[in-house]
Structure 1
């Protein structure tokens, strides 16, 4: 059976609200949760971007059952991989083994804040691979020293290690990242329901490992209002990842989406309250071989109503996939 998850979208709600939302998501029966890790929102209309790791720590204490995961953290620019390893190990302890570390090669939107040139996509993948190797070495215990192409580590050691290190997920968008995820990841992460991503992940060593996808939705009894909200806050979602990863700030995303119309948004994001529309948006992921699918309800102030509706109508329907 496909597991259905809930997304704490840090770009659209404050830290206290995010924790309240995931507590309710646990209560209504979501199977897992994921958390974005941003410094900026995609668009200013979203309006938020608290520090994800503080939110995760609070969520670990406020919940008892629901698994938690970053979706995703970039361990190469804003954070050094040795620091990511320490954060992830601590989260695994705080959550009593419910944490998974989702990693990706990053977007300029978030990573440019520390300065320096933004590397090419191929270099970012090289950096991600080296970062994963450092994180795994630290998870293994003992002192780690490393002088690599992109990172140096001098006599680092994690003093608080869980018995079981956090599983590592790696975000993919093409053959090279699928190769990395298959070799070094415990699960794969994607935002598109492409069977070829799953096939490439399996081919490179990922067979039998979890596959986690994500679907944006815009629930609301007034379909026009739900559509307007999706267009206002999520019209960037349909853009090419090659473009999205290169834009430096919300103003750039406004410019890049100037000609995106509401009808373009509704083609990929279900809007309103017809359960069947939401099921059909999730179905391609299940058919592509994804084992876990996280929903993103658009609009921070709409989460309570969405979660109530999900408990009564949406989750029972999705359980049949």
Structure 2
């Protein structure tokens, strides 16, 4: 199983993200994830740089593969524009760029004032959006009149030698079926062997499966739990809340339901490598090919050092 590093745009400045990417590559991480948000989950996290600017900058400082985890190409940005952005990123990264996509969250996508669709409709939109992007990556002019999108005499001129791979994020049975059918790979943030098996059985076959989790290095477990809970209590919200809440303040309100004990159970906190080993092993046993770890809080240098010593 390959181990990569997850760049959290919600918490760090552009300069810090670039530093983390360089540290990760130097430590031996084999790839990068980078999040694509308009808002952070809460004001305490406090950042949200534009992912396409970050991808251009990353292409100048790292040579390991980079995947968006994940881009939502259905509302905030038209899929034709995402197709151009992804093609440019693939050129800049010499083919080592993967476009991870998903159906998104209201937190980021409602900002243009459009109605936030239900999950089934968003899946239909995502499937059409991927179709639009792949048509544009073939070269030539594209005209498309679909249920959700119109493309009028559009052509992407800057193209990589081969089209970008599209990995699809999915958490429920219908979404996993869609991912298996249209994706070049599968993305999940849960070490769920049943979902991996479903993806492979429904047509995913031996396509790559990527997973990710967050840790919080700190001098003590207690400090790590406090930091993780202050910054990322929203990670403990159940069900579809993370898809439907519309603003950071609503996540702050809902996150009051998440206790520090819940955070302690869900996050590898503190300096003990065994806690991280347990997270990695859970993904390995579930059948993941790649897993990406993010750090919460200020001690990302220490986390990369931990992984250099213990796992890489």
> If the length of structure 1 is used for normalisation, what is the TM-score?
0.95
Distance 1:238 1:222 in 2: 21
- Offset at residue 241 of structure 1 (A): 4.5
Distance 1:241 1:92, change over 3 A: farther
Find out whether 1:309 has 2:306 as its counterpart: yes
- Offset at residue 281 of structure 1 (A): 1.6
* Other structure's SS at 1:252 match: helix
Distance 2:30 2:92 in 1: 19
1:110-154, CA deviations, whole angstroms, 9 ceiling, x for partnerless residues? 011111111011111110000011111111111111111110001
Matched residue, 1:186? 184
Matched residue, 1:108? 106
Matched residue, 2:276? 278
Distance 1:269 1:304 in 2: 18
1:156-213, CA deviations, whole angstroms, 9 ceiling, x for partnerless residues? 1110111111110000011111111111111000011111211221122101000000
* Partners of 2:169 and 2:179 within 8 A in 1: yes
Matched residue, 1:296? 294
- Offset at residue 308 of structure 1 (A): 2.1
* Other structure's SS at 2:3 match: strand
Gaps in structure 1 of 5+ consecutive residues: 317-321
* Partners of 1:82 and 1:134 within 8 A in 2: yes
Distance 2:135 2:173 in 1: 25
Matched residue, 1:157? 155
* Partners of 1:235 and 1:260 within 8 A in 2: yes
Residue 229 of structure 2, aligned match among 218, 228, 231: 231
* Partners of 2:217 and 2:300 within 8 A in 1: no
Distance 1:260 1:175 in 2: 26
Distance 1:189 1:57, change over 3 A: same
* Partners of 2:237 and 2:258 within 8 A in 1: no
Residue 142 of structure 2, aligned match among 128, 141, 144: 144
Find out whether 1:31 has 2:47 as its counterpart: no
* Other structure's SS at 2:160 match: coil
Distance 2:163 2:22 in 1: 24
Gaps in structure 2 of 5+ consecutive residues: none
1:36-76, CA deviations, whole angstroms, 9 ceiling, x for partnerless residues? 00011111111100111101110011112x11110000001
- Aligned Cα RMSD in Å? 1.0
* Other structure's SS at 1:72 match: coil
1:85-113, CA deviations, whole angstroms, 9 ceiling, x for partnerless residues? 10000001001111000000010000111
Distance 2:33 2:309 in 1: 22
- Offset at residue 259 of structure 1 (A): 2.4
* Partners of 1:268 and 1:281 within 8 A in 2: no
Distance 2:16 2:158 in 1: 29
1:1-48, CA deviations, whole angstroms, 9 ceiling, x for partnerless residues? x00110110001011111111011111100110100001111111110
* Other structure's SS at 1:258 match: helix
Distance 2:40 2:223 in 1: 21
* Other structure's SS at 2:301 match: helix
